[in-house]
Structure 1
Amino acid sequence: MTIADRLTLVTSPNLEKQESQELFVYQPSENNYRLIHQIEGRWRIKIERIYDDPDYANNLQYLLESSKYVNKVLINTAAKSLIIEYDPDQVSPQRLQNYIAVSLEEADRGESLPIKTSSESSSHDINYWERLGIPIASLVLAIIALPLELPPLLVGGLIMMACLPAYGRALEGITEEKQLTVDFLDSLAITLSAAQGHFIPPAFMISLIESGEVIRDVTARSSERQTLDLLDSLGQYAWIEQDGVEVQVPLKEVQEGNIVIVYPGDLIPVDGKIIRGQALIDQCKLTGESVPVHRTVDDEVFASTLLVEGQLAILVERTGNNTRAGVVVELMKAAPVHDTRIENYAAKFANIAVLPTLLIGAGVFAFTGDLARATAIITLDFGTGIRVSVPTAVLAGLTYAARTGVYIRSGRAIEMLAKVDSVVFDKTGTLTQGNASVVDIQPTVEGVAPLEILCLAASAEQGLTHPVAHAIVQQAQQLNIDNKTCEEWNYCVGLGVVAKIDGRQILVGSSRFMKNENIDITASEQFKTGGVSLAYVARDGILIGVIMYADPIRTESPGVITELHRQGISTHMLTGDVQRVADAVAQELGMHSNEVHAQAFPERKVEVVQELKSKGKTVAFIGDGINDSAALAYADVSISFAAGSDIARETADVVLMDDDLSGLTHAIAISKQVMDIVYQNAFIVGIPNFGALVIGVLFALDPILAIVINNGSAILAGLNGLRPTLGADKKTYRQETVIGLTQ
C-alpha cells in the first residue's frame, strides 16, 4: 500500500461549526498527522514530530514549498502545527493531499535538505568586473607592453582610467572633507610614475588599492533593518466574522472594531480583547514570559503572540504598527544606523601623513630637481598596505566564523565585538532553553513514588500541546515509562485535565484547577522556591504529589558567563519574567543582583542599553524575541540565534547558527584576533615604508624600488591578514544533562 493509500479522510469530532468539514489522518508506524482545520486555500495540519525534530520540520517545509501549487508554508513548532496556503484554482484538495502525504514520507528519509534563510546576497550587489576589470586590464597591458612594444599613450591612458575612482575619492576629500587624503597622495604617485614611463608599478599599485576597497565593501552588511515589516511576520490574511460568517480578508484591511477569529497554531494578528472563547497563548517572543498564559473573555491579547490551544474571537483595538509589537518595531527603526563596513584604517593611519609626505617630496624636488627621487618619496605612503591587509583580515575572520557556526554580518560588528566590555542578555530563550522541562518530582503523601506520579501525569496529559504537558510526557518517555490507558478524559483549557485511570480519578493541572476542584494543596507550599513552577497531581480528591518544572538554563550559559567575567566583561540580564524567577536564574549563573532587571518591557530594555552606553561602555545585546529587537538595534553590536524571531534575527549583527551560546565568546575571540592583526599590519606596512622614506630623503631612492617596498609590504600584510582562517574549532561550554528520578 502506498503512503497516499494510507491517507484516510474522517470527520472532525471537535469542530464547533455546523457545516461539514473534513480532515485527514496519516498513520505510518510511529507518527500521527491530522488536518485540524480546512478552508479553501488554507490547511492547518497537526504534526507531533515537528516539535522535537527541527531537521524533519525543515525538510518538510522545503519539500512543500518546492511545489508550484503551494504559496506559503508556516510552521509553529510550539503548537505542533503546519499551515499551508495554496492556490485552489491550480490544485484540487485530493492532489494536494497526495503531495502532502509524499512529502511527509520524503522528509523522514534522514537526508538534510537546504535550510530556508533570508535573502542576503553574498556579493552585496558588488559588480566586481566594473570595479576591478580596468585595473587588472591595465596591469596585464603594462606587463605585455614592453615585449609587444605597445604605444605608451595606450598603456598610460588605461592606467589613468583605472585610477579614476581614486581621483574621485581624492576630489571628494578636498571638496567635502576639506583635506588632502591618502587617495590624493596615491593618485599623484601613480600619475607621476606613469608619466615617467614606469607602467608596471603604478598599474600594480592601483590594482591593490581598488582590490582593498572592494574587499572593504564586501565586509558591509547587505540587509537593511529599516525594510522589516511587522505585517510580513504575521501573514497576509486574517479571518474576520461578518454577520456570523467567517471571511478571509487581507490583514492590512482589518480595522478597529472588526472581530478576528484565531485558531490553534496561528499568530494573533492584532491587539484586542477576547469576546468569545478561551485559549493558551505563548507570549514569550513579545513579553519574555517563559510559560504560556491562559486568556479568556475580556482579557487582552497582543499581535505576534502564538495561540497554542483553544479558539478565540477577538475584538480588534489596534492593528499594524499601532500594536504593541508594532511600537517595538518602530522603536527599532528609530535606532541610529551606522556604516557597517570595517573602518577605513587606511584613512585613519595614512591621512595624517599625507601633508608631511607631500612637503618632504616637494622639498627633495626643490633641492635636487630630481622628479624621480621626489616621486619615490610620494610613493611611500602608508595607505596601500592598510587598504589591502585590513579588509583581508576582516573577511578572513568573517569566513572562519561562518565555518564554525557564527554568522557575523559586517566588518563593523567585528570591530565592536573586539571592544565590548558589557554584554546584556535577554533571559528566556537566550540564557535559558525557552521551554518547560521537568526538574524534580515530590510526593506529598506517603506510599507514592515519584515515578508513579510521573506515570499518572503523563498518561493523563498525553496528546496535549501545552508545553508543560509536553515536558511531562517527554520526561516519562526518557525514563521508559509506559503510559496507562485513560478510561475517561476531559481537558479544561488553561487549567488542567481530568482522567479516569485504573478506575480512579486523576487530576493534573494548576493550583487554580485544584482549588476549583476542592483539592487541598497546602502540603505543596514547601516546594514553591526559586524559579520553579508546580504542576499538581491528585488522585481521588487527594493531592499525591507535585511535578516541579522550570525553563532550564542552557547548559553552556554558566561557562559563557564565567568566561566573560574572566575577560573583565560585565554581564546584565533583562527579562519580562517576575523578579523571583529572574533572581533564581541570576544566582545560578553567578550574576550580581544589581545586574538583573525583571519585568522589563521593550522600552526598558532600550533604556538599559542606552544607560550603559552613556557611561562609555561598548554594549553587546543578545536576544531572540520581538521584544528584544529594539534593544538589539540600539546596542553597539547585536546578537541573536538562527531559531529566533524573524525580526530579531534580521536586526542582529551576529547570528549564532548552532543555537549554542558558546558562539558569543567564540565571536569575541575571533574579533579580538582580527583587530590584533589589523594593528600588526600597521607595523608591517609602516616600518618598511618609513625606513625607505628616510633613505629617500638622505639618499637617492629609485621610484621602482620605492614601489616594490610599498607594494611588497602590502602583500606581506595581506598574507598576515589571512591568519584568522587557520583558527581552531569553536570551544563549546555545552554539556549533557540527565534528570535522575528514583523509584
Structure 2
Amino acid sequence: MAQYPLPQLVHRTRGRLRYRWRRLSDPALDPEYFEAWLENTEGVARARVNPRAACVVIELAPQGSGADFGNVLLRVPARAFSRGVPAPPRRGLGDAVFHAAMTAAVAAMPPGLQLPVAAAMGAPAVLKGAETLLTQGLKVRVLDMATIGFSLLRGDYVAAASISTMVVVGEFLRQATEDRSNGLLKSLVAAPVESVWVRRGDAEVAVAFADVVPGDLVLAGSGGLVAVDGLVVAGEALLDCSSITGESAPVYVKEGAEILSGCVVREGAVTIEARRTGAETNMARISGFMENALREVSARERRSDRLADMLAPITLGLGAVLYAATHDASRALSVLTIDYACAVKLPAPVVIKTSLHTAAREGVLIKSGSGLDAFAEADTLVFDKTGTLTTGRLRVTDVLTAGIADDEFIRLAASVEDRSDHPVGQAVVAEAARRGLELLPAGNACCSIAHGIEAVVAGRVVRVGSHHYIAEDCGISCAALAGEAERLRSEAKTLVFVASGESLLGLIALRDEIRPEACDVLRQMRLRGIRHVYVLTGDHARTAETLLAQVPGIDGMHTDLLPEEKAAFVKDLRSKGHKVAMIGDGVNDAPAFVAADVGVSLSRTQGLARESARIVLLRDSLHGLVVARDTGLRAAGILDNCFMAGVGINTGLLLVAGAGLLSPVAAAAVHNATTFAILGGSAWAAGRRPAAGQQTDRRN
C-alpha cells in the first residue's frame, strides 16, 4: 500500500463524504467485498465505490458524522484487493441519464454533428464487442457491436445513439438489481470490531480485537456488538440475534448463558468470559461464509453464462439470413437487438444470492450457490445418529463399577472428558456436576476421534471410550461386565467404558432421545423428492436399532463405523450415481462431509466439521433441512421459469421484428423492458419467505 498516496476527502456535505484514493483503481479491487466491509463499519450507512474514478462515496449513519474515514480506509483488509480478474465497469444512474440526454440531443443536431457524437456514444460497446470477438468468439457483446456498428454505417445515427443508450441503461439496471441481491448478503456480513472493552484486574480497558484471548472478561453494553463467543458470568441483557439465528424476537440472557458473537445488546449489560476469539468466533466464520458467497459463481450461473454465449451466434445468424433474404437492413438490425442471452444469463446470480439471503433469515446458512444447487439436487440423505437424528443431550442412567466407589469412578471419567465437545463427554461431566464432584487436573490428553480419550489423572493413565477402544485398541478385557453391558445395550443405551492402566474400572450407560421433529422432517423431505435415507453411527448395532425403530422411513442403518468408514460409505453411494447430502454434528463427520455432494452441519457444530459443511443449520432443529430444500428447489424452479419465459417472449419478438413491425430502437426498448420484467419478477419470487409446509418438488 506504500506506493499509493493517502485517501483524500474531496467533497463533504451533511451526511455524505466522497474520497479519492488511487488504490481504488487497482484492477484487483473487489468492489462488492470492499463495499460490504465498509458498510459494516460503525458510522457508515451506505458505500459506493467507483473504480474508474478511484472514488468512494460514503453515506453516514448518525453516529458517523465526526469519524475520520480516511484512516478507516487504510485499514481495509487485503482480501478486498484479491480479485483474480478486473471487475466489470459499473454503471450509475448518472451514466444512464447522461446517455438518454445525449440521445435526445443527437436527434436535434445537424447531420454534421450527429456522426461524431453517436460514434463517441457507441464506441465503448463497439470496442468491447470487437475485443470479445477477437478473444472469445461470437458472444453476447458482439451483438451490441453489430447493431451499433451497422447503424453507424447506414447513417442512422439516432438509432446508433439510442441503442448505445439502451446498452448503458441495461447495464445500469442489471447493476442495480445485482447490487440489491449483493446488498442482502452484505447485511449478513458481521460488522468488523476494531476494539473490545475487557476487564483485566480492577481496570476496564479497550484492547484491539485481535488481542482478546480466551479467558478475558469482555464487556458488552446497550447498543454494543458482542465480539466473542463465550459464557455470561455477570449481568443480564436482551440480545438481538437475528443476524446469527434469523430469529427476530430478542433473546434474554443472564449469568450462565452461552452467547455467540455477532449478537447486539438491545437492553442491559453483560460480562462475558471469552471462549472463542478472533477468527474462531461465530461472527468471523459467518462473515467469511458470506464474503465467499458474494464472490462465488455457482455451477448454475456458469451453465447460464455458457448457454447465453451459445445462443448469441443464433441471433447473429438469424439477422444475417434475414438481411440476405430481404436486403432490409432495418429488419436485420431489429433482430440483432433481440437476443435470448439476457433472459438466460441475468436472473441466475440475482436469484441465487437472494435465495441465500432468504434462507439465512430463516436460520439456514448456505455458504454458496453451489451448495444450494447440490442440496436441491440431492436424492439421498445420510444422517449421523448421535446429536443429529437424536437430540445429542445424553444423560447418565446407570453406573457399574469394578472395585471402585461410584463417585470416584465418575470423578475420574469426568476429569478426562472435561475438555471434550462430544455429547457423551458432556453428559459424563454433567453427571459429575450433578453429584457435586470437584474434577481433578488432567494432563497429556490424547484423543482418538470417534473411539475415546485418555489422560493422566492423579498420576494414573485413565482411558474413557467405546468397547472397541478399550477392548481392541487398548487391549483391556471387558469380560467382567459383558453380561451387564449386553443387558444395557438391549435397552437402547449407549455405553462408555472406563479403564485405568490395564484394568477395567467400570462402565457408564447413557440414553439419547430421537429429536421430536425427526419423523415429520423425514416425511417432508420424502415429499420433496428424497428417495433414500440412511443412518450411520459408531454405536453398537443393538443400541442403534432399538432407538431408530421409533423413526419410520429409514432405508438402512450402519453401525460401529469409524469416521473413515462413514466417508467410504458416502463415496460408495456417489459411485452408484446417488446425489448425497450428509447431515452431522461432530468433528468425526468432517470426512463424510467432504466425501458427500453437500455436507450439512447442525448449529452446535464447531471447528473442522462446521468449516467442511456447505450448509449450517443455525437453529437447533432439523426443520432447517426443509427450508434449505425448499429454497434450492424454488430457486431452480424460478430459473427454469425465467428460461422458458425468456425463450417464449424473445421468440415472439424475433418474429415481430423479422416481419418488419419493430424498428431497431423499438425492438431494443421492448427487449430490455421484458428482460427486466423477468429479472424483477425472479428477484421478488426468490425473496419471498417460504410458506410453512410448502411442497416444491418439481420432479414428482
Supply the AA of the counterpart residue of 2:329: L
Quick check: 1:139 aligned with 2:101?
no
Candidates 362, 366, 384, aligned match of 1:426: 384
Q: 1:356 to 1:646 in 2, by over 3 A?
A: same
Question: Could you tell me the percent identity over the aligned residues?
Answer: 24
Q: Which residue is 1:576 aligned to?
A: 538
Q: Which residue is 2:146 aligned to?
A: 188
Secondary structure of the corresponding residue to residue 721 of structure 1: helix
Aligned length: 459
Candidates 562, 584, 587, aligned match of 2:549: 587
Conserved? CA contact 1:456–1:484, under 8 Å: no
Conserved? CA contact 2:91–2:175, under 8 Å: no
- The offset of 1:673, in angstroms, is 0.7
Q: Which residue is 2:363 aligned to?
A: 405
- Give 1:68-147 correspondences, 5 Å limit: 131-133=88-90, 138-146=95-103
CA distance in 1, matches of 2:543, 2:652: 63
Conserved? CA contact 2:493–2:509, under 8 Å: yes
Secondary structure of the corresponding residue to residue 549 of structure 1: strand
- Give 1:457-476 correspondences, 5 Å limit: 471=427
Candidates 653, 656, 660, aligned match of 1:699: 660
Q: Which residue is 2:324 aligned to?
A: 366
CA distance in 1, matches of 2:490, 2:415: 29
Q: 1:431 to 1:711 in 2, by over 3 A?
A: same
Q: Which residue is 2:209 aligned to?
A: none
Deviations 1:115-137 (Å, cap 9, x if unpaired)? xxxx9999896699952435866
Candidates 249, 273, 298, aligned match of 1:340: 298
Quick check: 1:204 aligned with 2:166?
yes
Q: 1:130 to 1:623 in 2, by over 3 A?
A: same
Q: Which residue is 2:261 aligned to?
A: none
CA distance in 2, matches of 1:140, 1:128: 29
- The offset of 1:169, in angstroms, is 4.6
Q: Which residue is 2:616 aligned to?
A: 655
- The offset of 1:397, in angstroms, is 0.7
Q: 1:143 to 1:469 in 2, by over 3 A?
A: closer
Candidates 621, 627, 638, aligned match of 2:599: 638
- The offset of 1:473, in angstroms, is 8.0
Supply the AA of the counterpart residue of 1:639: V
Q: 1:384 to 1:521 in 2, by over 3 A?
A: closer
CA distance in 1, matches of 2:79, 2:645: 30
- The offset of 1:672, in angstroms, is 0.6
Conserved? CA contact 2:331–2:659, under 8 Å: no
Q: Which residue is 1:664 aligned to?
A: 625
Q: 1:547 to 1:346 in 2, by over 3 A?
A: closer
Supply the AA of the counterpart residue of 1:672: L
Conserved? CA contact 1:163–1:206, under 8 Å: no
Candidates 682, 686, 699, aligned match of 1:721: 682
Secondary structure of the corresponding residue to residue 344 of structure 2: helix
Secondary structure of the corresponding residue to residue 621 of structure 1: strand
Deviations 1:4-34 (Å, cap 9, x if unpaired)? xxxxxxxxxxxxxxxxxxxxxxxxxxxxxxx
Structure 1 residues not aligned, in runs of 5+: 1-118, 175-179, 223-337, 445-452, 497-508, 537-544, 733-743
Conserved? CA contact 2:390–2:512, under 8 Å: yes
CA distance in 2, matches of 1:169, 1:490: 68
Q: Which residue is 1:312 aligned to?
A: none
- Per chain length, whose mean CA-contact separation is higher, i.e. which structure has more relative contact order (CA < 8 Å, sep 6+)? 1
Conserved? CA contact 1:426–1:623, under 8 Å: yes
Q: Which residue is 2:3 aligned to?
A: none
Conserved? CA contact 1:576–1:598, under 8 Å: yes
Q: Which residue is 1:596 aligned to?
A: 558
Supply the AA of the counterpart residue of 1:367: A
Secondary structure of the corresponding residue to residue 550 of structure 2: helix
CA distance in 1, matches of 2:302, 2:79: 21
Q: Which residue is 1:688 aligned to?
A: 649
Secondary structure of the corresponding residue to residue 605 of structure 2: coil
Secondary structure of the corresponding residue to residue 374 of structure 1: helix
Deviations 1:382-415 (Å, cap 9, x if unpaired)? 1112322222221211110111121222222222
Q: 1:373 to 1:566 in 2, by over 3 A?
A: closer
Conserved? CA contact 2:126–2:145, under 8 Å: yes
CA distance in 2, matches of 1:589, 1:666: 21
CA distance in 2, matches of 1:133, 1:707: 21
CA distance in 1, matches of 2:81, 2:641: 28
- The offset of 1:721, in angstroms, is 1.1
Conserved? CA contact 1:386–1:714, under 8 Å: no
Secondary structure of the corresponding residue to residue 101 of structure 2: helix
Deviations 1:637-664 (Å, cap 9, x if unpaired)? 2322454243332333222222432212
Supply the AA of the counterpart residue of 1:359: G
Q: Which residue is 2:671 aligned to?
A: 710
Q: Which residue is 1:609 aligned to?
A: 570
Q: 1:468 to 1:367 in 2, by over 3 A?
A: closer
TM-score of the superposed pair, with normalisation by structure 1: 0.51
- Give 1:23-102 correspondences, 5 Å limit: none
Secondary structure of the corresponding residue to residue 571 of structure 1: strand
Conserved? CA contact 2:162–2:665, under 8 Å: no
- The offset of 1:164, in angstroms, is 5.3
Supply the AA of the counterpart residue of 1:712: A
Q: Which residue is 1:553 aligned to?
A: 514
- Give 1:149-548 correspondences, 5 Å limit: 153=116, 156-161=119-124, 168-174=131-137, 180-192=138-150, 196-197=156-157, 198=159, 199-205=161-167, 208=170, 340-347=298-305, 349-438=307-396, 471=427, 526-529=487-490, 531-533=492-494, 548=509
Conserved? CA contact 1:510–1:534, under 8 Å: yes
- The offset of 1:145, in angstroms, is 0.8
- The offset of 1:139, in angstroms, is 2.9
Conserved? CA contact 1:684–1:716, under 8 Å: no
- The offset of 1:717, in angstroms, is 0.8
Q: 1:405 to 1:630 in 2, by over 3 A?
A: same
CA distance in 2, matches of 1:437, 1:549: 5
Conserved? CA contact 1:641–1:656, under 8 Å: yes
Aligned-CA RMSD value? 5.1
- The offset of 1:144, in angstroms, is 1.8
Q: 1:645 to 1:491 in 2, by over 3 A?
A: closer
CA distance in 1, matches of 2:508, 2:562: 28
CA distance in 2, matches of 1:431, 1:437: 16
- The offset of 1:588, in angstroms, is 3.2
CA distance in 1, matches of 2:491, 2:136: 61
CA distance in 1, matches of 2:427, 2:123: 70
CA distance in 1, matches of 2:304, 2:647: 11
Secondary structure of the corresponding residue to residue 631 of structure 1: helix
Supply the AA of the counterpart residue of 1:705: A
TM-score of the superposed pair, with normalisation by structure 2: 0.54
Supply the AA of the counterpart residue of 1:689: N
